[in-house]
């Protein structure tokens, strides 16, 4: 049996369903999801294992016209990633009309397909469960008119519709090779990065539009308590700093009497315990780093 292995990258404008699709293909959460745009800020690799193939999915921030230094760096991150993968999935949500942002990305995808490597680009119509058959057909035609794609696949990550078909299509573009990761490994993200992303996901739930862009999360430390494990499950102290740009945003995160921050901690702790396989004492601190999105020095400190 011939074995194929390689990298696929999802691109698309913010909130096109890239992270949710990555999680659906992997079968477990490896990328945070949110109804807010610009949730993803790091490339997050998810690994799909099959007897005949290994597909490494690279989930990137949404391509957009940047307004800050952070936005410029996120776009650069996406473009660097595109040069290193075997196939690109261009995600376009079925419940939204093709717009200027999609055309902006389509132009770059066309250039990518025409360069020396000729990287294949698959158009992935996400959120297909949110529209009727007629509207989906119209959207597929609009997507087809955007460029010369190697394939067009409608999918729904939430219902599972065509997820297996997309998996087959992506793997069909991978070169022959050996496994690149150990069997059972689902992501190569460091634990601290995953923990920070889970806290940020919890903090983004139900907040105002202004906050997602201004919130950064950094794990200070993850240390095991020097005490016997209860029922064989160790106890970890996890200390995390949440950075915002203004005092008013700090108040939003903390909430009246600290209620909102406690909710964030409770939600994040459950996810972190499942990730780390341990009981967790989660210590959250909210700090103000004024205008960090536009400050090169502060961006560096926050990992961008």
Binding-site positions for GTP: 12-19, 59-63, 126-129
Residue count of the chain, please give it. Answer: 304
Annotated binding site: 12-19, 59-63, 126-129
Judged by DSSP in three states, 134 sits in: helix
Number of neighbours of residue 179 by Cβ within 10 angstroms: 13
- Which H or E element spans position 237? strand 235-244
> What does the block give as tokens for 68?
């800050």
- Helix count and strand count (H, E) for the chain: 10, 9
Q: Measure the CA angle with vertex 74, ends 71 and 79; round to 5°.
A: 125
DSSP 69-124: HHHHHHHHHHHHHHTT-SEEEEEEETTS---HHHHHHHHHHHHHHHSTT---EEEE
Q: Using CA atoms, how far apart are residues 219 and 196, in angstroms rounded to an integer?
A: 6
Number of neighbours of residue 140 by Cβ within 10 angstroms: 18
Sorted by sequence, the CB contacts under 8 Å of residue 251 that are 6+ apart come out as none
Angle between helices 259-276 and 191-204 (to 10 degrees): 150
């Amino acid at each position: 049996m011939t074995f194929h292995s390689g990298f696929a990258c999802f691109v698309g404008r913010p909130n096109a369903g890239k992270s949710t699709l990555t999680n659906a293909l992997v079968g477990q959460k490896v990328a945070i999801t949110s109804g807010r745009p610009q949730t993803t800020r790091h490339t997050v690799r998810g690994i799909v294992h099959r007897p005949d193939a290994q597909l490494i999915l690279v989930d990137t921030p949404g391509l957009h016209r940047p307004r800050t230094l952070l936005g410029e760096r996120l776009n650069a991150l996406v473009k660097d990633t595109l040069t290193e993968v075997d196939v690109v999935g261009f995600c376009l949500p079925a419940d939204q009309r093709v717009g200027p942002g999609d055309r902006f990305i389509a132009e770059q995808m066309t250039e990518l397909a025409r360069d020396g490597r000729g990287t294949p680009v698959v158009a992935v119509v996400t959120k297909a469960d949110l529209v009727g058959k007629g509207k989906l057909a119209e959207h597929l035609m609009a997507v087809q008119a955007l460029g010369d794609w190697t394939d067009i696949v409608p999918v729904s990550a939430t219902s599972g519709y065509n997820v297996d078909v997309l998996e087959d299509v992506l793997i069909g573009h991978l070169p022959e090779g050996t496994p690149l990761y150990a069997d059972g490994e689902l992501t190569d993200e460091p634990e601290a990065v995953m923990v920070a992303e889970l806290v940020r996901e919890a903090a983004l739930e139900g907040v105002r539009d202004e906050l997602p862009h201004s919130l950064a999360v950094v794990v200070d430390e993850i240390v095991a308590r020097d005490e016997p494990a209860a029922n064989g499950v160790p106890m970890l102290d996890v200390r995390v700093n949440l950075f915002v740009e203004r005092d008013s945003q700090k108040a939003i995160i903390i909430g009246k009497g600290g209620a909102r921050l406690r909710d964030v901690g409770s939600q994040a702790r459950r996810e972190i315990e499942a990730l780390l396989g341990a009981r967790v004492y989660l210590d959250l601190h909210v700090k103000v780093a004024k205008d960090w999105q536009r400050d090169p020095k502060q961006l560096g400190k926050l990992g961008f």
